[in-house]
Amino acid sequence: MNQTPTAVRRSVIAGCGSALPQRVMTNADMSKVVDTTDEWIVERTGIHARHIANDSETTRTLGVEAARRALDHAGLTPDAVDLIILATSTPDQTFPATATLVQADLGITRGAAFDVQAVCSGFVYAMSVADAMIKSGQAECVLVIGSETFSRILDWTDRGTCVLFGDGAGAMVLKAETLPDSQESPGILVTRIRSDGRYHDKLYVDGGPSTTRTVGHLRMEGREVFKHAVVNIATIMDEAMKAANVAPKDVDWFVPHQANRRILEGTARKLGIREDRIVMTLDRHGNTSAASIPLAFDVAVRDGRIKRGDLVLFEAMGGGFTWGAILARF
């Protein structure tokens, strides 16, 4: 006997958008700033270039631009939005939350707006919170944004870190829809977030309002981060897929946080993921922290790779350590 699936409330990705600063900084440009070479950067990371914000481009302005494009893509106007969650580690000001600045620029005066801080895992955390707010009936239409200006917190004399990062923003619009409870229905299927604060000194910023009263600079033990990244990412992706009862071969696209080509290839090998199923934009964008996932997703949607109905797995790992994964049908 055929049973009709029950209806569930799902968070559907209604649209996406992104924004990049105008200025492109290539590895050749980088070699004029620190003692490095294009060969070294490409071989160790896969990065060829990154965008760097000028003084008038900030986390707020990039976030607003990405948000407007995501709303356009969804065919919605700002008045549809009742929640903004913005993931960033490089806010315009210590407070108020950059999300409220974006809210004001979009002319939205209802609902709520707040920032989420989970460094490079920020977008996955923000999506998990947005999904929970939608599923619990507290929001109908959420603008989830990842926006960063990491160039402002880099130590431009440290060649081990400044070559890795770039600036940018990405956004998605999540809309509540009541749909048949089936994996074939669009929307977020699984969210998983984790953190382990014992590793805070492997990747951190050496300043803050309550300690040094300064913003500080990014510090990292690259090898340690690398080692943990492959294991943590592979484990959480596996957990997310098992929770939805899907295998790597069922996933149409992997949209990872864009940290390092070798981390992505190592993870893919561990899980048996085909490399041509991975969306990689780090060659052009570098590591844009919380912005990298929505930025990569937007690129692949607009160039026609990711289509409606595709099963997409997002994953990230960042300072904290924090990490997480999200499985969604577009």
**Interaction of residue 233 with ligand COA, rule CB under 6 A:** no
Q: Going residue by residue from 36 to 55, which x/- string records binding to ligand COA, judged by CB under 6 A?
A: x---xx--xx----------
Q: Which of 27, 73, 120, 141 is catalytic?
A: 120
Burial of 80 (0-12, 13-18, 19+ CB in 10 A): middle
Q: What share of the chain is helix, strand, coil (3-state, %, to 5)?
A: 40, 30, 35
Give the binding range for ligand COA (CB under 6 A) out of 33-41, 108-116, 192-200, 302-310: 33-41
Chain residues 159-178 in contact with ligand COA, contact rule CB under 6 A:
159-160, 163
If DSSP codes are grouped into helix, strand and coil, which group holds residue 199? helix
User: Among 16, 174, 234, 259, which residue interacts with ligand COA (rule: CB under 6 A)?
Assistant: 259
User: Nearest CA to 164 among 245, 249, 222, 250?
Assistant: 222
Q: Is 287 annotated in the active site?
A: yes
**Interaction of residue 266 with ligand COA, rule CB under 6 A:** no
Per the CB < 8 A criterion, the answer to whether 45 and 282 are in contact is yes
Using DSSP bridges, classify how beta strands 187-195 and 322-329 pair: parallel, antiparallel or unpaired.
Answer: antiparallel
Length of the chain: 330
CB 160 → ligand COA: shortest distance, Å? 4
> Is the Cβ of residue 177 or residue 221 nearer to ligand COA in the bound state?
221
**Interaction of residue 101 with ligand COA, rule CB under 6 A:** no
Give the binding range for ligand COA (CB under 6 A) out of 96-104, 145-153, 258-266, 268-276: 258-266
Per the CB < 8 A criterion, the answer to whether 267 and 237 are in contact is yes
Please, what is the angle between helix 59-74 and helix 292-302, to 10°?
A: 40
CA distance 117 to 154: 18
CB 116 → ligand COA: shortest distance, Å? 16
Which phi and psi angles does 181 have, rounded to 5°? -75, 75
> Is the Cβ of residue 13 or residue 120 nearer to ligand COA in the bound state?
120
**Interaction of residue 226 with ligand COA, rule CB under 6 A:** yes
Q: Which residues are catalytic?
A: 120, 257, 287
Binding site for ligand COA (CB under 6 A): 36, 40-41, 44-45, 120, 159-160, 163, 220, 222-223, 225-226, 259-260, 263, 287, 317-318
